[in-house]
Structure 1
């Protein structure tokens, strides 16, 4: 389950993919497979996939227990070929983030 709170030590990778028309599900399927693979990496915390209503984007929200773990997850995914396969299905815009503010109802 995602952890969204400040000062938790969690590093979040938010990767927004722009996909061709009709391309969301193929990328979601691959990202789901990649999440299953990555979940065995020490320090992996969670992964959540989101599809846009207009069909043009997929967002991958993945968390690790620190920057070193996040980089290790990325390395394992790269070494296993997932990043190359992802890029064949959509244009990626990745970034690593820390939560700095939350507000709940």
Structure 2
């Protein structure tokens, strides 16, 4: 995949939506998700299935370049699970966005869609503006995955605005980018990082300590950590770094 950049701007400013498709490869994982934030593996674990499937997924996403309204996509390989994710951006109102994996669609290994939703980027903050994702500038990304309880998305976003800026003191954390799903059931924080070496310091920040999780009572939480494998550019291209 080409090593260009993808720029993330809030939907209200850009009239662009995000689509996040998360894939699990191989046999389904049966271990329950941790109850709170866990630090990522220091060394990326690349599975045989990931290595086999990545070129095919990249080829599929490249085909989206010809689609009206396609702004770009980031291909992400989990460093803790046998998973891939594709974060893509499209003009709002473009219609149904393409799917990486259709039912019954072979990828040469067992694969299933963990989740696929459309999102608005509703709140961001960071040590740089705008948010830029690229293999060189932000080689690692985390997803903070929140499943909202009882329509509490607005309340959760209020807590995000009060808590997230302090997290930006964590060395390596460049930006936080909260996305709200169109069905209102999910929030995703796409966090961009220059490296995870000091991620553990985030867990000592107010709102992240044991017993102080800012989402308690509003959402359930899990996270995943990714290597930025590449970027497919569309109509919107940022200056390469």
- Report the TM-score, using the length of structure 1 for normalisation: 0.81
CA-to-aligned-CA distance 1:7-53 (integer Å, 9 cap, x gap): 43532110111112321011111122222111223332101111111
Question: Is the strand fraction higher in 1 or 2?
Answer: 2
- Where in structure 2 are the equivalents of 1:5-44 lying within 5 Å? 5-8=134-137, 10-44=139-173
Q: Which stretches in structure 2 are left out of the alignment for 5+ residues?
A: 1-129, 235-241
Aligned-residue RMSD, C-alpha? 2.2
- Higher RCO (C-alpha 8 Å, min separation 6): 1
* Conservation of the 8 A alpha-carbon contact between 2:171 and 2:199: no
Could you tell me which runs of 5 or more consecutive residues in structure 1 were left unpaired when the two chains were aligned: none
* Count of residue pairs brought into register by the alignment: 104
| Counterpart selection for 2:179 from 32, 50, 60 | 50
1:68 deviates by 1.5
**Greater radius of gyration (CA):** 2
Aligned partners of 2:176, 2:211: CA distance in 1, in Å?
18
Q: Helix, strand or coil: the match of 2:225?
A: strand
Q: 1:44 to 1:31 in 2, by over 3 A?
A: same
